[in-house]
Chain A
Amino acid sequence: MENGEKNFNVRGNEKLIGSSDTAIRGVLALLKDNVDQSMQKPMIVLGHGDPTSFSGFRTTQVAEEAVIEALKSAQYNCYAPTVGLLSARGAVAEYLSRDLPYKLSSTNVHITSGCAHAIEIILMVLARPGANILLPKPGFPYYDARAEFSEIEIRHYDLISDRGWEINLDQVEALADDNTAAMVVINPGNPCGSVYSYQHLEQVAMTAQLLGIPIIADEVYDHLTFGSNPFVPMGVFASLAPVFTLGSISKRWLAPGWRLGWLAICDPARNFQGNTIDDCIKGCFNIVSGPPTFIQGAIPQILENTREEFFSDINAKLKECAGIAYSKIQEIPWLTCPLKPEGSMFLMVRLNLGMFEDVADDMDFCLKLAREEALILLPGFVMGMKNWLRITFAAELSALQDGIGRIKSFCVRHSLAAAH
């Protein structure tokens, strides 16, 4: 810098630095960097909720063609209304209403850039000064990141591993106070693979009603169930407690890259009447960016014309994968899986660290596994459960079996017994 020149007064918003160190993407990137590039084995990633790299998990042509048709019509190159194209909102309202005892209207639905964006928006809206939010543990760390970003205090409630990962409602009651803005419920569950029963969801709604707080129901894995519990949307209980339903086509249609989601307000008892929530949501949409208009334009066709076979095929694949993953993991004594998954794409396993010679914790396990076996799993601390692992079973069967085989080899190699 020459004499007399000013230093550039450029400083970034400190809140943003490191805001994502514990986020899923950051940790997966770190693990991938640790893979030994010289190894012959192909890398297997069982760490994320995106099976589209496997050929058995391609979206339906109905959806692809719907998007192409909308694009070619040249009717959708324009800006969409900020809360979403009316036809898309109506179609989503219709789609969600199929499983509800009342009808949602298009005005109850807002279109977002994926479910992640819906999370961003609802937290922005609820972030009044001093607010706190109840999040599940283990949970989905994007909620924590966005709550922190919006300066909402986070309070975690436990999911009970030996009760099918059900919500500890006593704890929820103890944590809530006058500043609690909402509780988040993820069902079907990420990361646990649980699908809550009707009874449990009803109890959750009754608890929320008692506490006077709405429920943010993250249903991005809606209908991706293959066990004994059917999917029941939280909106079924919205007359007890208002529900913000978050969802998208990312998982059920295997198109996470299409960034098409929704935020629906389920409030048949009109508990929000006279409330400013709706205006705040609209205000929020006025200052953010929405999904491409032509994808919104394709939504009615996508939601209405996708054939049932597509869904049942995918669920059958997931069921098979979940079953195989669970039974193979049962043969690995170094891991304990408390719940055979019934939905979503994941299961949680506990590391029995005492059985290992030289594995310090979950991140250490995952780093070494990445290096030695070119296998990527997500360490549980990212979801709030240290010394657990989240394993994605939504993968090509051969890759899944190969991957779990590699876990077993790794465990054997690092076993305490092996040291003797």
Chain B
Amino acid sequence: MENGSVKWKVKGKQQLNSASAVTVRAVRDAIMSKVSPTDERPIIPLGHGDPSHFPSFRTTCTAEEAIVDAVRSAKFHCYSSSVGILPARRAVAEYLSKDLPYRLSPDDVYMTIGCTQAIEIMLAVLSNPGANVLLPRPGYPYYEARAAFEHLEVRHFDLLPEKGWEVDLDSVEAIADENTVAMFIVNPGNPCGCVYTYEHLEKVAKLAKKLGIMVMADEVYDHLTFGNTPFVPMGVFGTIVPVVTVGSISKRWIVPGWRIGWLVTNDPKGILRKSGIIDCIVGYLNVSADPVTFVQGALPQILEKTKEDFFSKINGVMKEAANICYDRFKEIPYIDCPYKPEGSMFVMVKINLSLLEDIDNDMDFCLKVAKEESVIILPGCAVGMSNWLRITFAIEPSSLEDGLARIKAFCERHSKMQ
């Protein structure tokens, strides 16, 4: 640029930087960068939510064929409508209704670009000046990142590790006020690996009703359960309190890269419609990006034709991995695993910092274990619990054993008890 010429008046929106810095991806990238390039061992990824690379977690060919059929039919090269194409919405309504005491209609279903966009929509829709929403801690930081972007105030309620990570209902009541519009739950739980009982979810519903707020249920890990507690969708309590469920095929079918999800209103009493929330959802969808039409087109086949043995196979691998995780941590005195995971892909464990030399906190632990052992773990501070760790066990069981052994070695090397 020549002297004296124009100054470019281009400045970016600053808050985009800060909003995104807290995402899981950003923290994990920071940790990944510490891995030593000279370590010849394979990196053990215990920090992700995406096992699709591992052979034990390959999706079913039923799903792949459904996409191929949809592409080759040439019927889905066109634009979708902003709420999603009817066959997809109908298929999702039928799929979810199987576990509900009432029937969802296709009009209750909105197709989204993964569960991620469904979350985006709900936070935008709930954002009003002065409003606040209640989020679980520990939780999934994308909620905080998007809420910050929407200028929506968040307040955190605790999940209780000593009670299987159940919602601390007293803390919910304590932080709610007349500006609270919703509480969010994640079940099966990320990051805790818990699966809530019918009784607990009913208590949550009744509390929400008492407070006059709706419940947003993130069920992206629906049916990924392998313990004693079965999966109960929050929508079961839709007659007590209006429930919006967000979900996708990303986790159950191990295809997060396909970017197809849904936002569903479980609201047999029509409260959400009367409140105008539905109009807002549709309004937002009308001005935002749509999921790929042919992936929507493939959804009926995917949801209806996938065989049960695919699901049981995946849950079987998860169960094995969860057991390995829990058993190995019992052998590592430096790390405490209070709750054997029953669902999702994660478990929260606590670091006994007092037993470790020269490890300041969870982030420090993760940075050092990445550098020294090429193991990637998500520090608990990324999900709202410092000095804890979130461990992903959805990887090849043999790799998991390797990773846990390396964590043990790391702890022993840094032990105060030399």
Contacts and interface: CB of A to CB of B under 8 A. Distances in A.
A280 B79 contact: no
Contacts of A18: 279, 283
A272 B114 CA distance: 33
Interface string A5-17: 1111111111011
Contacts of B13: 124-128, 280
A116 interface: yes
A257 interface: yes
A5 B16 CA distance: 40
Question: Closest 6 CB pairs between A and B?
Answer: A280-B12, A257-B293, A12-B280, A293-B257, A20-B286, A286-B20
Interface string A288-314: 111111110000000000000000000
Interface in B169-188: 178-182
A269 to B, nearest CB: 7
Interface string B238-271: 0001100000000000111111000000000001
A259 interface: yes
Contacts of B76: 257
Nearest to A20: B286
Contacts of A19: 283-284, 286-287
B117 interface: yes
A398 interface: no
Given A8-B271, A13-B127, A50-B78, A79 B257 contact: yes
A142 interface: yes
Nearest to B26: A286
A355 B259 CA distance: 51
A10 B243 CA distance: 11
A292 B277 contact: no
Nearest to A290: B259
Given A68-B71, A68-B72, A77 B254 contact: yes
Contact of A284 (B16, B67, B289): B16
Interface string A166-184: 0000000000001111100
Interface in B272-314: 272, 275-277, 279-284, 286-295
Interface string A201-244: 00000000111111000000000000000000000000000100
B211 interface: yes
A285 B289 CA distance: 13
B159 to A, nearest CB: 24
B384 interface: no
Given A23-B287, A77-B255, A79-B50, A13 B280 contact: yes
A6 B77 CA distance: 48
Interface string B128-157: 100100000000001001100100000000
Given A12-B276, A287-B20, A289-B116, A213 B9 contact: yes
Interface residues of A, number: 92
A62 B400 CA distance: 41
A49 B280 CA distance: 26
Contacts of A275: 8, 10-12
Contact of B78 (A53, A112, A146, A269): A53
Interface stretch (B118-126, B221-229, B347-355): B118-126
Given A78-B50, A257-B76, A8 B257 contact: no
Interface in B94-134: 112-114, 116-117, 120, 124-128, 131
Given A8-B214, A78-B52, A254-B77, A16 B284 contact: yes
Nearest to B61: A72
A277 B10 CA distance: 7
B81 interface: yes
